[in-house]
Amino acid sequence: MKKLAGILAVLLMLTGNVYAAGTGELAMESEPEEDVPAWVFDDTAIPTDAEGLDVPAPSAILIEKETGRVLYEKNADERLRPASVTKVMTILLIVEAVDSGALKLTDTVTCSATAASMGGSQVFLEEGEQMPLSEMLKCIVVASANDAAVAVAEHMAGSEAAFAARMNERAQELGLTGTHFTNCTGLMDDPEHLTTARDIAIMSRELIKHDWIKEYTTIWMDTIRGGEFGLSNTNKLVRFYEGATGLKTGYTSSAGHCLSATAMRDGVEYIAVVLHCASSAERFESAKTLLSYAFGAYTLAEAKPSEILPPIPVTLGKTAYVQPAFEPVKLLVKKTDAAGLTTSVELAESLPAPVEAGQVVGTMTVTLNGEVLSETDILAADAVERLTWWDVAKNMLTLLFCGER
């Protein structure tokens, strides 16, 4: 039965029509399998100047993961329907629950009648069917399965509505001012279910901070139910774009073709979000253009002092010196500017005891062509206690009777 459902699912996806179980009405969300020309994924001859970029997506943004710096934006704050890109927040809540210990990937999730009735992209869960959370998560991430998303939402919060409330709370915590969720799937074209390209980029950045999710987001093809049901990733960049790490596609007739795409090369990861595209090819072309521009034009430079930092004398301390410590600063700069970065350090000449570990003892400034790019605190590596009067007296007696050693 499940094999037949899998075959039917593929055929329905190929036609772009998936019917909602039990309703007889055409579901409003499914990923139509459009032919996307190979040239869409070719990242040669991409301009290294933002002014020369041709991004057909009506709304788009490009950011770097480490710094969060915005490299390109186009109508990035326009509130639009996100379709299944909604699931970026759904997946984020699942991942955070796993990392906090509230959930385990081995937990059993049971599909309710409500979850089983979901249309659109699905894995045809039946009422009462059980899967480990890891399998449900794979269905959500790879196949954009609405039935699995609702099943997990109910497992976590009791109902989809309660889960959507959690989604909105998390959106507020992340400062997503243009976002309001009414469900966990993006399935229905609810006029109140809106977000922006900028907000999606922020939630996507938060998601990929949990590196293990990429074990799921980079899957191209896989199976569930012991190999009886096949999954194929709707994000074609995963297969055809070098360094792709995810993340989530979406489509409804009114939302258009949407995508949050992430990719990493040489230790630098970028996030490109495009919304309301006219076709699947347009969304992949737009995202690819943005990612390739970033990889071609920018580098994540590591700035640190040019010399080893000397220890700082501590007055009346039980230890005579404290060692300054610093974390190298990562700065996103144009590749052509990387060699021009300079650092300068200012340290306290001496410090009075007591000195706390982590206390600010200096500043490192990074400049480029005279412009200050970063000012970073240099901290005390260890604590130094202050000498007591008895310690001072003992030291004086030692000097008096034994001389300086």
Confidence of residue 391 (pLDDT cuts 50, 70, 90): low
Token duo for residue 233: 């990733």
Check: CB of residue 307 under 8 Å from CB of residue 337: no
Last residue of a domain, one of 281, 297, 313: 297
pLDDT for the residue 283: 95
Same domain, 322 and 262: no
Looking at the structure, do residues 308 and 293 belong to the same domain, yes or no? no
pLDDT of residue 188: 81
Question: Total structural domains in the chain?
Answer: 2
Indicate if 159 belongs to the active site: no
Of 65, 87, 138, 236, the catalytic one is: 87
* pTM metric for this prediction: 0.84
Do both 58 and 142 map to the same domain?
yes
Whether residues 288 and 354 share a domain: the answer is: no
62 and 175 together in one domain:
yes
144 is catalytic: yes
Residues 200, 285 within the same domain? yes
Confidence of residue 45 (pLDDT cuts 50, 70, 90): low
pLDDT digits (tens, 9 = 90+) for 182-200: 999 998 878 999 999 999 9
pLDDT at 317: 86
**272 and 290 in contact (C-beta within 8 Å)?**
yes
Which is more confident, 389 or 290?
Answer: 290
Provide φ and ψ at 339, rounded to 5°: -70, -15
- Is the same domain home to 210 and 350? no
Output the domain CATH number for residue 59. 3.40.710.10
Residue with more model confidence, 27 or 358: 358
Q: Check which CATH number belongs to the domain holding 327 and give it.
A: 2.60.410.10
Q: Given 59, 144, 260, 280, which residue is catalytic?
A: 144
User: Does the annotation count 248 as an active-site position?
Assistant: no
Full strand arrangement of the beta sheet holding 341-347: 324-325, 371-380, 360-368, 341-347
Domain boundary among 264, 297, 330: 297
Do residues 242 and 128 share a domain?
A: yes
For 307-340, write each residue's pLDDT tens digit: 899 999 999 888 999 999 988 888 999 999 988 8
Residues 272 and 338 in one domain: no
Q: Do 83 and 216 fall within a single domain? A: yes
Distances (CA, A) of 278 to 25, 171, 258, 363: 24, 27, 9, 50
Give the domain extent around 374: 304-402
What pLDDT, in 10s, does the model give residues 114-149?
Answer: 999 998 899 999 999 999 999 999 999 999 999 999
Block residue for tokens 């490109």 = 272
Q: Give the CA distances from residue 114 to residues 96, 183, 404, in Å, rounded to whole numbers and listed in that order.
A: 25, 13, 84
The catalytically annotated residue of 30, 84, 260, 292 is: 84
